[in-house]
Amino acid sequence: MMELTSLLCSGISAPFDAPEQEIIRIAKAKMKRARILTAGLHFRLYKKSFDARKRGEIKQVCSVLVTSPQPFSVDETALARAGARQFVEELPAVVRGDAPLIAPPLVVGMGPAGLFAALLLAEEGYRPVIIDRGDDVTARAAATERFRVSGVLDTESNIQFGAGGAGTFSDGKLVTRVNDPLCSYVLQRLVEFGAPHEIMTRAKPHVGTDILRVVVDGILTRIADLGGTVLYRTCLTDYTVESNGVRVQTSKGEWMAGALILAIGHSARDTFDMLMHHRLSLEPKPFSVGVRIEHLREDIDKALYGDAAGHPALGPAEYALSDTTGERGVYTFCMCPGGEVVTAASEEEGVVVNGMSYHARDGRNSNAAVAVSVSPADVGGDVRSSIAFQRQLECAAYRAGGGEYYAPIETVGDFLNGFRGSEPTRIQPTYGNGRVRVTDLREVLPPFVAENLAAGLRSFDRKLKGYAVPDAILTGVETRTSSPVRILRGEARTAIGEDLVYPTGEGAGYAGGITSAALDGLRTALAIIARFHQ
């Protein structure tokens, strides 16, 4: 017998529109059939996803958390019959070190990694300084809207740089493949700062850019209230590791830091260049490039959900497609139901696209990146050549759009059949307030990208009928799917070659989305706390 206070009952299947009470009834019935007493236990929905592989028989697949105020005994065989397992919800295990910290830690970057690192440090009394080259949420939103409407780019405050990082202007997807017991903790903290509680139960949770802005602002306010220092429009320009601290140079002066967390994001190319002059080790890593594809939201809903499309229990349909039959992988990324394609450039005379949606996901179009895998060997085999490859694509897209940050677009029919010049009809592009130009994307993309992209689109059309519909819109280019760089670190999470420097998050090559970046930031903060006392 096992003494438990919580267990997780999984694999509960029910009609897609079954209410929570029905899910809990099924969980109780499973436990009773396994001869587990349910009297006095508390049941609540833990996770829910939809299985739409059979359009006429869409199911929700759920897990239920079962808790008791007192330990209760369960036979292990009965537990297996009920499809249940012991459940322990983990919190950060804070262990304090004894090394002196001569100055507060300094966190570079206000994306998820930097925010969660600084938040935990502040809550544990370390009074961190957190800086970002971009603006606060309100000023940043104004800068991105100005760029969207008029093409006036602020290279320091845009969709890549500023409070919340690139994730602030996204769908706010929190799905992660990282199997870290602190995942639930990250979601709980986001809810605490304003995210909807439903993210705790959805297998594919999302927040939406409108709510993410509130969450980010709340976290930064908490850091400041706890004695931390929050500085905007402050760019890291250099640093010097000294015997007991790091002397940090910024665009707004110099600081002494007890430890330096580099949560710089995937687009700080000038910072990568600066780091290559230091003793730490950088290496190129695989990344992906491609385009954004747009369909009508109702078409994607019907393709996935059939006659049930539009049912409020289902919401807008999501997809994740991949094809590995060719010479390199092609996959969809950052799918935004009911969203829009956004102006994501951060450098002059370069066009970059990304996807965004609000919490309601009620826009006319749905979009996703369709990306082709790129290895360092494809583009020169080093960090600088990987960055140069991304930049070349962005500049080519800028020229193809005719300048002024107009984006090049092409219908799927033209792209696949070698035509050119078809104007959008039924599906209208959402990029940049209509600042687009019809062109031939094969003149922008390298042949190996274009050919694999075409093969991927045809493959996806076989998996999801209508995906390669001729009037779907492709907008180029998507180059910032992930960092092309990894800053090597050891088991203590410090950079190889430079103690007191902590590469963290997506820009350092150790995460791939909001949740995984936040987790990496938490783990870095825990490592600093375990080393130093405040």
- pLDDT, one tens digit for every residue, the chain (534 residues): 667 789 999 999 999 999 999 999 999 999 999 999 899 999 999 999 999 988 789 999 999 999 998 888 888 899 999 999 989 888 899 999 999 999 999 999 999 999 999 999 999 999 999 999 999 999 999 999 999 999 999 999 999 999 999 989 988 889 888 878 899 999 999 999 999 999 999 989 999 999 999 999 999 999 999 999 999 999 999 999 998 899 999 999 999 999 999 999 999 999 999 999 999 999 999 999 999 999 999 999 999 999 999 999 999 999 999 999 888 999 999 999 999 999 999 999 999 999 999 999 999 999 999 999 999 999 999 999 999 999 999 999 999 999 999 999 999 999 999 999 999 999 999 999 999 999 999 999 999 999 999 999 999 999 999 999 999 999 999 999 999 999 999 999 999 999 999 999 999 999 999 999 999 999 999 999 999 997
Residue 93 placed within a domain: no
Q: Check whether residue 326 and residue 380 sit in a common domain.
A: yes
Q: How far apart are CA 89 and CA 91, in angstroms?
A: 7
Residue 504 placed within a domain: yes
Q: How far apart are CA 239 and CA 248, in angstroms?
A: 4
15 lies in which domain range? 2-85
Contacts of residue 17, Cβ cutoff 8 Å, sequence gap at least 6:
311, 313
Residue 276, pLDDT score: 96
Q: Secondary structure of the chain: what % helix, strand, coil (to 5)? A: 30, 25, 40
Q: Check whether residue 385 and residue 462 sit in a common domain.
A: yes
Residue 1, pLDDT score: 63
473 and 414 Cβ atoms separated by less than 8 Å: no
194-to-188, 201, 315, 498 alpha-carbon distances in Å = 10, 16, 21, 38
Residue 408 belongs to what H/E stretch?
Answer: strand 407-411
Residue 2, pLDDT score: 67
Last residue of a domain, one of 16, 50, 85: 85
Residue 66 placed within a domain: yes
Residue 5, pLDDT score: 86
Q: Check whether residue 271 and residue 210 sit in a common domain.
A: yes
In the numeric block, the tokens 């049912």 are attached to: 311
Residue 92 placed within a domain: no
Q: Check whether residue 370 and residue 279 sit in a common domain.
A: no
Count CB neighbours of 348 within 10 A.
10
Residue 208, pLDDT score: 95
Q: Check whether residue 171 and residue 266 sit in a common domain.
A: yes
Residue 90 placed within a domain: no
We report the CATH number of the domain holding residue 25 as 3.30.70
Residue 259 placed within a domain: yes
Q: Check whether residue 197 and residue 268 sit in a common domain.
A: yes
Residue 52, pLDDT score: 92
Length of the chain: 534
What secondary structure, in 3-state letters, does 487-522 show?
Answer: ECECCCCCECCECCEEECCCCCCCCCCHHHHHHHHH
Contacts of residue 48, Cβ cutoff 8 Å, sequence gap at least 6:
23, 60, 61, 62, 201, 202, 203
Q: Check whether residue 493 and residue 439 sit in a common domain.
A: no
Residue 91 placed within a domain: no
Last residue of a domain, one of 478, 495, 522: 478
We report the CATH number of the domain holding residue 228 as 3.50.50.60
Q: Check whether residue 431 and residue 474 sit in a common domain.
A: yes
Count CB neighbours of 257 within 10 A.
23
Q: Using only C-alpha atoms, what is the Rg of the chain?
A: 24
Residue 50 placed within a domain: yes
Q: Check whether residue 491 and residue 388 sit in a common domain.
A: no
Q: Check whether residue 11 and residue 128 sit in a common domain.
A: no
80 and 333 Cβ atoms separated by less than 8 Å: no
**What's the maximum distance between 2 C-alpha atoms anywhere in the chain?**
72
Residue 54, pLDDT score: 86
Last residue of a domain, one of 478, 501, 517: 478
Q: Check whether residue 373 and residue 315 sit in a common domain.
A: yes
Q: Check whether residue 279 and residue 298 sit in a common domain.
A: no
Q: How far apart are CA 293 and CA 304, in angstroms?
A: 17
* Domain count along the chain: 3
